[in-house]
């Protein structure tokens, strides 16, 4: 069974303080000052099973840690996240945390938070800002690594194949860190193997509906599809519907490699419909609350905290299904 390691791997000179702070659970976050720690969190949306698990993890962790959480759902719109951050600044929250829906366009509002002396923590997705003073820490996965793992599996899976292997790619939200990085990591992993041809690549915006719609278009426009690489399970699950409605067998006629590792994808794997899944861990809540407490207390925290994740074959997913939390 693939080892699912959600340990914290700390980069940079700082010593990891997260492990020392235990589960972050229990007790109030006010350290006897009487003031409850207030965190403003701007969430991308509710576009996928991964996202709802991430939201649940953050909300439950806040409750457990005695943190007052002001939570806003941006419905995948950057302007809504910017509005939410401005509102948190007006409310003078202690810490702002968010998962940026796209990488660019954050400097202005993050500068406003900095001028208001409110520290910002990035979770899940990164920003491409050059000014590192605009946030204190980034907690989340390495998406390039995830794309690489998907590509490496494909290279192994088709090691004996001689002819062209036609790949279609369902990309995540345009401009988002996971879409950019999972695409580049995958491309790097297969670039030495000319047999792999990415014959079509388009965004499915991380949703089932769009994933299905784009896969329907691929099936119409592409004479030969051997593999689907989906940047998340929800798009893969939508694509499975399209493949089956076209009278083809997902996992057999068209092999599928995906990312996230949500329960519904594990069920599809147990049915032979998805061939490999690269895990992306959404359970960041406890680590985020521990970070927020330390940041508020003025303690040193790591600039980059990377969650370690596993990969799953159908056998491993089937075995993991009964205990899968999300």
Residues lying near ligand GZL in the complex (CB under 6 A): 47-48, 50-51, 124-125, 141, 178, 206, 232, 234, 259-260, 280
Distance CA 326, CA 27 (A): 26
Distance CA 309, CA 13 (A): 23
Alpha helices in the chain (DSSP H): 49-65, 78-90, 107-115, 143-157, 177-190, 208-221, 233-245, 263-270, 285-296, 314-320
- H/E element, 306: strand 304-307
* Residue 254 DSSP code: B
Task: Please identify, using beta-carbon distances, which residue of 234 and 290 lies nearer to ligand GZL.
Answer: 234
Which one, of 263, 269, 278, lies nearest residue 324 by Cα?
263
Could you give phi then psi for residue 270, rounded to 5 degrees? -65, -20
Q: How far is the CB of 203 from ligand GZL (least distance, A)?
A: 12
Q: How far is the CB of 235 from ligand GZL (least distance, A)?
A: 8
Q: How far is the CB of 8 from ligand GZL (least distance, A)?
A: 16
Task: Please identify, using beta-carbon distances, which residue of 226 and 309 lies nearer to ligand GZL.
Answer: 309
Take residue 138 and report the two structure tokens written for it: 């980034």
Q: How far is the CB of 77 from ligand GZL (least distance, A)?
A: 14
Taking phi first (over 0 means left), then psi (-120 to 50 degrees means alpha), and beta for anything else, what does residue 260 get? left
Task: Please identify, using beta-carbon distances, which residue of 94 and 277 lies nearer to ligand GZL.
Answer: 277
Q: Which residues of 285-304 are buried (b: 16+ CB within 10 A; e: fewer)?
A: bbbbbbbbbbbbeeeebbeb
Q: How far is the CB of 48 from ligand GZL (least distance, A)?
A: 4
Task: Please identify, using beta-carbon distances, which residue of 231 and 293 lies nearer to ligand GZL.
Answer: 231
Task: Please identify, using beta-carbon distances, which residue of 152 and 233 lies nearer to ligand GZL.
Answer: 233
Q: How far is the CB of 99 from ligand GZL (least distance, A)?
A: 6
Task: Please identify, using beta-carbon distances, which residue of 68 and 213 lies nearer to ligand GZL.
Answer: 213
Distance CA 142, CA 163 (A): 32
Task: Please identify, using beta-carbon distances, which residue of 82 and 280 lies nearer to ligand GZL.
Answer: 280
Distance CA 183, CA 172 (A): 9
Task: Please identify, using beta-carbon distances, which residue of 195 and 263 lies nearer to ligand GZL.
Answer: 263
What angle do helix axes 233-245 and 49-65 make, rounded to 10 degrees?
A: 150
Q: How far is the CB of 49 from ligand GZL (least distance, A)?
A: 7
Task: Please identify, using beta-carbon distances, which residue of 147 and 178 lies nearer to ligand GZL.
Answer: 178
- Are the beta carbons of 141 and 309 closer than 8 angstroms? yes
At 116, is the secondary structure helix, strand, or coil? coil
Q: How far is the CB of 228 from ligand GZL (least distance, A)?
A: 16
Q: How far is the CB of 162 from ligand GZL (least distance, A)?
A: 33
Distance CA 188, CA 295 (A): 36
Distance CA 168, CA 188 (A): 16
């Amino acid at each position: 069974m693939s080892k699912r390691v959600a340990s914290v791997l700390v980069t940079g000179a700082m010593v990891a303080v997260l492990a020392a702070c235990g589960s972050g659970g229990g007790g109030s976050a006010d350290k006897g000052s009487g003031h409850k720690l207030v965190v403003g969190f701007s969430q991308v949306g509710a576009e996928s099973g991964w996202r709802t698990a991430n939201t649940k993890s953050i909300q439950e962790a806040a409750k457990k840690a005695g943190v007052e959480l002001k939570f806003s759902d941006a419905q995948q719109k950057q302007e809504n996240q910017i509005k939410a951050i401005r509102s948190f600044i007006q409310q003078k929250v202690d810490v702002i945390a968010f998962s940026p829906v796209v990488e660019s366009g954050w400097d202005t509002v993050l500068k406003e938070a900095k001028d208001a002396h409110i520290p910002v923590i990035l979770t899940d997705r990164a920003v491409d800002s050059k000014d590192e003073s605009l946030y204190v820490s980034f907690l989340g996965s390495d998406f390039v690594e995830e794309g690489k793992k998907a590509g490496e599996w494909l290279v192994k899976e088709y090691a004996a194949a001689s002819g062209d292997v036609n790949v279609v790619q369902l990309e995540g939200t345009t401009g988002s860190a996971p879409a950019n990085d999972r695409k580049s990591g995958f491309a790097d992993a297969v670039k030495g193997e000319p047999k792999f041809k990415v014959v079509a690549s388009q965004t499915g915006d991380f949703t089932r509906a769009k994933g299905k719609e784009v896969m329907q278009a691929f099936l119409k426009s592409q004479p030969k599809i051997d593999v689907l690489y989906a940047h998340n399970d929800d798009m893969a699950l939508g694509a499975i519907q399209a493949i089956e409605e076209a009278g083809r067998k997902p996992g057999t006629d068209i092999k599928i490699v995906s990312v996230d590792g949500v329960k519904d994808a594990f069920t599809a794997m147990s049915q032979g419909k998805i061939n490999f899944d690269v895990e992306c861990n959404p359970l960041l809540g406890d680590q985020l609350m521990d970070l927020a407490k330390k940041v508020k207390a003025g303690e040193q925290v790591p600039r980059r905290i990377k969650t370690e994740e596993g990969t799953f074959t159908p056998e491993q997913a089937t075995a993991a299904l009964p205990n899968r939390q999300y």
